Amino acid sequence: MRTLWTKKDLIEATNAIDPSLNFMNKIIGASGISIDDRTIKPGDLFIAFKGNKFDGHDFVTSAISKGAGGIIVSDLKLAQKYNGLLVNDTNKALLNIAKFGRNRFKGTTIALTGSSGKTSTKHLLSSALKTYGTTHSTQGNNNNIIGLALTLSRLNPDYKYCVLELGINNIGEMEELTKLALPDIALITNVTNSHIQNFKNEKEIASAKSKIFLGLNKNGIVF
């Protein structure tokens, strides 16, 4: 099982402390990242993420019982009891791990958005790129900031390509997504008012989606 995150990298990424001094003392590192005890795999790092209707700290014991390789929490007692890393904010810790994961990746990152066709385009592009090298991509249509953070936190730094699907429901969301994704290539499939939701009109949707270019590197390519 490949090590994706070492103790050193996790502490550097999150500025965490190790209260018990025994975080991941029996293993080389974590093989994956999870915020869901229902789908966690043995060897994964479990981050006690807090949502609107749940608190991941309530599921730490379950995650440990299912083979979590380590935990990141904002509760000192849990950190001491389960040899976890302690941070001030677990949600920020996930984002910081994602940033660290993106910054250490030296392959080509492609970010795509659009009013429709995002997920199918991601599948087609990922399948094509696998012919030329190891490729990582967004799972399912998890294209919001949490999904993006999880995708980047699971990114193997030795892969050649990373394909990221970015989806927005409100003005201002794309800026946050693209500045985390930092694409080398940005792709917009289309712009329509089919999912207008919180936007006034098609022009406002186009403007919001065009913010994907803000994260593009200076020699980036646009489709």
Instruction: Catalogue all structural domains in the chain, each as residue range(s) with its CATH number.
Output: 5-98 (3.40.1390.10), 105-222 (3.40.1190.10)
Burial class (CB in 10 A: 0-12, 13-18, 19+), 66: middle
pLDDT (0 to 100) of residue 188: 95
Q: Which residue has the tokens 């915020």?
A: 35
Extract the residue ranges of the chain whose pLDDT is less than 50: none
State the Cα–Cα distance between residues 26 and 28, nearest whole angstrom.
Answer: 7
pLDDT (0 to 100) of residue 26: 79
pLDDT (0 to 100) of residue 1: 60
Q: Which residue has the tokens 């009013």?
A: 115
